[in-house]
Chain A
Amino acid sequence: MSALAIVTMLAICLFVWGGFTAFLICAIRSEGRKRLEKD
């Protein structure tokens, strides 16, 4: 693979998959906090 393709692949995949993962972690932590508040 060319260097440009590798860089673009990493950028796109990190942004999309990384973004999803980051939002998912935020949601998990938020749910954990809400559960603690309820208890």
Chain B
Amino acid sequence: MSGGEQFRSRWGLILATLGMAVGTGNIWRFPRIVATNGGGSFLIAWVVFLLIWSIPLMILEFSIGKRARKGTVGAFAMIAGPRRGWMGGWVALCATAIMFYYSVVAGWCLRYCFAALRGELTGADPARFWESYAGTYEAFFTHAAALSLAVVVVWFGVRGIEQVAKVLIPLLVVLVVVLAVRAVTLPGAAAGLEFLFRPDWAQLGDVRIWLQALTQNAWDTGAGWGLILTYAIYMKAREDVPLNACLIGFGNNSMSLLAGIMVLCTVFAVNPGAREEIVGAGNEGLTFIWMPQLFERMPGGGFFMVFFFLALTFAALTSLIAMIELVTRILIDAGWPRRRAVGLVALGGLWFGAPSALSLDFLHNQDWVWGVGLMLSGLFFALAARRFGLEKLRREVVNADGADLRVGRWWSFLVAVVVPIEAVVLMVWWLWEARGWDPAGWLNPLRPETVGTVLVQWAIALVALLALNRWLSRAGSSDREVAG
């Protein structure tokens, strides 16, 4: 069913899945969100949602992927019935739409990595450097370059994915640890640790802190995206599910914590007076405008800046590889040979990623629409599993022969009840918040981050998926084994 492809070892699976989970969100979003949402209070809520969102969904994705041995469309058709293949189509669509602009982001990281290596950022005006690059044809070329790198890996199948993960992820960990150690040893870094970890008990009563913590888990760990399901197709038959899910969840959050320490200690040590401006600058502002400035003011900063952008590039590429594999897998399930499928995904990625490369507004729009769409993906996973029978899944797959941990009924309760509530609450909250960002035009579908643009794009997608459901379910569940 997996076309003979399999991860050679447990470590290959774990490193590849960790590579999927650890992305730019760990490094550039987490530190900002912690800093602007109460520090230690946020971290407490964040750890709670690691346990009641990320890990239960990861266990679910691993078990569905392992059971179905099909991409998201075929898996949903098998688990929840052929009338629900469209839900797997939604999961795939969100991941694909994200892939289109994520390769642009990976291209940014690649560009800055080279810029740091060549010393282009030293003495340069970072804001001007960013503005002369982002949204230009240069950004299109780096998007193509990043996409090509990831496509080459997927071309070689699971072996390629495993080999690359075995090199890049340990390197990524070393880079982030070195940067974090450098940051905490800077004079003044203790203030950053204080800011990051001191809880404000009053803020724990603020529901926004909890919603932001849940959002960070939802966008950061990759749980409910369909990417873990895709890699689980290539698990060995007796491979453990629950312990691997815990490893990935805790591993991902470990990296976020290191990144938070790295960024915030650097900010507080080098430019504490501008900390509010820095953490309020957004993902791109923090990463591509402020961090180069901070590194430049640090002893040995040029060297550490290379490490930073290299780490960001590795994180972005390994996540991009997973997204490309998700789409490729669905085409393989429909009977396409891997090489032809990868070729089509590459062309599609190049073409549909171009608007995001050339327009930051378009990129932010897609990030907004499909970022919230991921919450619907999580809900669909939970609903599909309920349809199949959570106790059946727990007995036959999660706690099957080979499991290193036994998962109790608490998991079934979390997936059946808690995860759907979390998903719905998150979607409603984000859409409600969006009303306040643009009070006059919140329903305008042509503005980047409005309720209107979400509703219109989702409606088009859902109508198309429902109309194509029969074809999707049949194509996604094809038993044609195609070599190459």
Contacts and interface: CB of A to CB of B under 8 A. Distances in A.
Interface string A17-39: 10110011011001100000000
Which bracket fits the contact residues of A? 20 to 34
Interface in B242-261: 243-244, 246-247, 250-251, 253-254, 257
A39 B82 CA distance: 43
A8 B404 contact: no
B254 A16 contact: yes
A15 B190 CA distance: 21
Contact of B193 (A5, A15, A17, A19): A5
A16 B40 contact: no
B257 A23 contact: no
B194 interface: yes
Nearest to A31: B10
B247 A30 contact: no
Nearest to A22: B250
Given A2-B198, A5-B194, A12 B247 contact: no
Interface string B168-209: 000000000000000000000010011011110000000000
B455 interface: no
Contacts of A19: 246, 250
Contact of A26 (B14, B43, B243): B243
B240 interface: yes
Which bracket fits the contact residues of B? 20 to 34
B387 to A, nearest CB: 30
A8 B257 contact: no
A15 to B, nearest CB: 6
Contacts of B253: 16, 20
A9 B408 CA distance: 30
A8 B254 contact: no
B198 A23 contact: no
Contacts of B196: 9
A36 B425 CA distance: 48
Contacts of A8: 40, 43-44, 197-199
Contact of B194 (A1, A26, A30): A1
B250 A23 contact: yes
Interface in B403-448: 404-405
Given A8-B199, A12-B40, A1 B251 contact: no
Given A1-B194, A8-B197, A16 B257 contact: yes
Contact of B197 (A5, A16, A24): A5
B466 interface: no
Contact of A27 (B44, B247, B257): B247
B194 A12 contact: no
A20 B14 CA distance: 12
A1 B265 CA distance: 13
Given A27-B404, A30-B404, A31-B10, A9 B193 contact: yes
21 contacts: A1-B190, A1-B193, A4-B40, A5-B193, A8-B44, A8-B199, A12-B257, A13-B257, A15-B47, A16-B47, A16-B50, A16-B254, A19-B246, A23-B243, A26-B243, A26-B404, A26-B405, A27-B14, A27-B244, A27-B247, A27-B404
**Closest 3 pairs (CB-CB, A-B):** A5-B198, A9-B197, A20-B250
Interface of A: 1-2, 4-6, 8-9, 12-13, 15-17, 19-20, 23-24, 26-27, 30-31
Interface of B: 10, 14, 40, 43-44, 47, 50, 190, 193-194, 196-199, 240, 243-244, 246-247, 250-251, 253-254, 257, 404-405
